[in-house]
Amino acid sequence: MGYTKDTIKGVTWVGGFRIFTRIFSFVKLAVLARLLSPNEFGSFGLALLVLTLVETITQSGISVFLIQERKNVFKYINSAYFLSVIRGLLIFLFLYLSAFFIAGFFGSLSSVKLIQLISIVALIRGFSNPARVIYLKNLEFRKEIYFSTVVFLVDSIVSIIFAFWLRSPSTLVWGLLAGALAENVMSWIFINIRPKFEFKKEQFGEMFKKGKWFAGFSISDFLFEHGDDFVVGKLLNTNALGIYQAAYKISILPITEISRVFNTVTFPVYSNISGDRKRLLRAFKRITLSILIVIVPFSILLYVYSDDVVSIILGDKWLEVIPVLKILSIFGLIRAFGVSVYPLFSSLKRQNYVAVISFTGVFVMMVTIVPLILEFGILGAGYSVLFASVISIPMTIYYIIKLFT
């Protein structure tokens, strides 16, 4: 029953951190929503979307490879660091130089400076110590939580302080920069492993071969979660994007965060017991049931009391969030179940299953989102992602059955 103890211990630490960060995040959102307008939130959201998209596209799946690998992973750290630095530098140069064209495409020239400023985040992250992944591989969740808590607090506190001072969307970017810098510095102070800037072709080939499906999943998963944001920003405006993203943060994040708490813990745990399918199946059933017991009541309460939630957290100028919030709360419930299965597939090196499911959801969303937005506005984006998530569930169940029969 070792995996049960590991899971409970991990969920306790990761869950405690997530609860703390979500509560603090809502406090941060409540403060900033009263200092910034929906349009300003949308401008920052656009810059963050672009950064996240480029970081996702250039992902190699190295972290997942290091967790899955049963050999001595320390020999791969130098190559991982080399790739991280080069990737961060390329992302920085691309975003900084193309900021005007990106902002122009979305009709939001006010986002040019934000995109250029946020590009520095990628550069700083690129120089972080990749050996941090050892915490998760060795199930040292407490160390990982200490690390993540400091980064989160630095980001949030700097954002709030700068918001009172600058009263502009750049305050949110300065928070990200501060958090990235704190993460970089701590990764070198508290982790004893010191990677060198060294590239080995054979190691790169091995990491890329095993991590490509995860990279493919990451891209499709990003498009599934944020493709609607891009379409809203393009077809409507940054004000609509700010409203839509606020609804997302309130409705989706609390629910999906619960499943991600388990995912952070269960992936390394599942990987450690992946050789015993019966034991793995028992663990999967118990964990999935635990997730559903938590997220179903939460989703129902969020749907029923959406008016009160918006009034308390955001204030009266954000009342347009309410109808979108109701739709996305249902989407979050379905999405949480789907995402909770991904660690199972990854632990058995079936990232291709995850990629296929995610690509299907993206395809359905891309086909439906434009006509639905043109017909229903912001609500159409919510209907599109809800429909796409429902379509993905039968495929997920099919692959689960395939693994254990």
pLDDT of the residue at 69: 58
Is residue 306 left, alpha or beta, with left meaning phi > 0 and alpha meaning psi from -120 to 50?
alpha
Strand, coil or helix: 301:
helix
Which tops the pLDDT comparison, 134 or 103?
Answer: 103
Least confident among 123-127, 135-139, 180-184, 376-380 = 135-139
Q: Which residue has the tokens 């122009």?
A: 104
Q: Report how far Cα 192 is from the mean position of its chain's Cα atoms.
A: 27
What residue type is assigned to position 198 of the chain? E
8 Å CB contact between 387 and 368: yes
Count of structural domains within the chain:
1
Report the half-sphere exposure of 4 (CA within 13 A, side-chain side): 8
Rounded CA separation 5/7 (Å): 5
For the chain, what is the radius of gyration of the CA atoms?
21
The model's pLDDT over 2-30, given as tens digits with 9 standing for 90+, comes to 555 555 555 555 556 556 666 666 677 77
pLDDT of the residue at 150: 81
Q: How confident is the model at residue 1 (pLDDT cuts 50, 70, 90)?
A: very low
What residues make up the domain containing 27? 2-403
**Is 0.75 topped by the overall pTM?**
no
Report the half-sphere exposure of 204 (CA within 13 A, side-chain side): 10
**pLDDT at 233 > cutoff 70:** yes
Average pLDDT, the chain: 79
pLDDT of the residue at 352: 77
Both structure tokens of 75: 């020999």
8 Å CB contact between 233 and 375: no
What is the average pLDDT across 271-299?
Answer: 79
The model's pLDDT over 150-178, given as tens digits with 9 standing for 90+, comes to 888 888 888 888 888 877 888 889 988 99
Least confident among 141-155, 261-275, 278-292 = 261-275
pLDDT of the residue at 18: 59
